[in-house]
Structure formats: structure tokens, C-alpha cells
Amino acid sequence: MSFNNSISLQKLQKIGYQRLLLLIALNVIPLIGVLYWQWDIFTVILLFWLENAVIGVFNCTKILACRGSKNNKGKAIKWYSNLGLAIFFLVHYGFFTSAHGMIVLKIFEQDFTGEPWDVWNWVYQWFQNTEGVLWLAVIAMIAYWLFDFIQFWLKERKDKEAGKQMMEPYSRIVIAHLVLLFGAIIVMKFGFELAIVILLVLIKTFINYHDLVKKQTNVIN
């Protein structure tokens, strides 16, 4: 028991108690929204989907900030050397996320027609008709990933290769997308909104926690 506790404490120390608390607070917001602000499951899943988009934007800036690669003279590369890779990621990841958003809208039978890129305009219009407290959730989401980017800038960018950074969000987003789609289908077929929201929050928190521990372990090593 003491050995397991020591491992858990080491993991918490690696990622930082403050950052873990921020992560938990970010993931609990949707649950609070369902319980007190009458959010439905579509709103929750759309927020989770939007977070993947926010992660993509910040990862694009991380790619540009990476200095781990070397040029032919053995010197650290400049940001513009990673520009092509960043553009490729933005297009590929953007299309992947857009297609997933379109599937979510179709599952929940939303009034949407168009191509995957049209999802962004639909979501923007949808947010224009929502209550202000939902925007607070978006602001909290952006603030958390901005904090993550600052940590990256201070601790990781000097040694991180742009190619490895480009691939970093994909393992998370594949799992997250599958979980969100599965949760959406279950709700549409059987209901159990609150139970599914709780389950999604727990799974998402675990995925985020695992990613943080893995990232900090790589930084230390």
C-alpha cells in the first residue's frame, strides 16, 4: 500500500498539484452545467469536441515553437523552418476534427447541411444563441490550454522536435472522439444523460491525467 501511495505522490509531484486542480476544475464544469444550468448532453459533447479544436490550435503554435531539431550546421532551427509542418498539421487535424463535429451534429439530428468545414460557422452561430455561462466554459477551456502552452514554452520547446510535437494530440483525439461518439449514441438510444455525462467526465479526466504524467516524465527524463 505504501509503495502504491509513493508512486501516486510521485506522479502528482511531477504534474504539480495546482495543474491537477485546474484540470479537475475544467472537466467538472460540464457536470455542473448539467446539474445546475440545465445543459443537455449535446451541449456537453459539443464542448468536449470544441476542446479538441482548442488543443489543435495551441499544438500548431507549439510546432512553430519547437527548437529540438537541428539544421545542416547543427544549430537549432528557427520557427519558420517548422511552418510547413504546422500548416500540414492545421489542415489535416482541422479536417479530422471538422468531420468529427459533423458526425456529432448528425447523431443529435441538428439542423446542419454542408461540408465538414461548414461545421465551424454552424457552431459559431449556435454559440451566438446560447447563454453567457456557456461562454465561461469556453474561456476556462482556453485559459487551461494557454497555461499548458506556457508550461511547454518554459520547459519543453528547447528540446522538442517539431515532428514529434505534431503527432502528440492524435493519440488523445482518437480515443476522445471514439468515447464521445459512443456516449452520444448511447444517450440517443437509451437516455441516461446524467450517468453518461459523469462517465465521460471521468474518462476524459483520466485521459488528461495520463497525458500529463507521460509528458512530465518525458521532460524529466
Q: What distance in Å separates the CA atoms of residue 211 and residue 107, rounded to the nearest whole number?
A: 28
Rg (CA), the chain: 19
User: 217: pLDDT confidence band, cut at 50, 70 and 90?
Assistant: low
pLDDT single digits (tens) 70-123: 555 556 677 788 899 999 999 999 998 898 889 888 888 888 888 888 999 999
Q: What region does 68 belong to: left with phi over 0, alpha with psi -120 to 50, or beta?
A: alpha
The model's pTM is: 0.80
Angle at 51 between CA 50 and CA 52, to 5 degrees: 90
What number is the average pLDDT over the span 157-180? 81
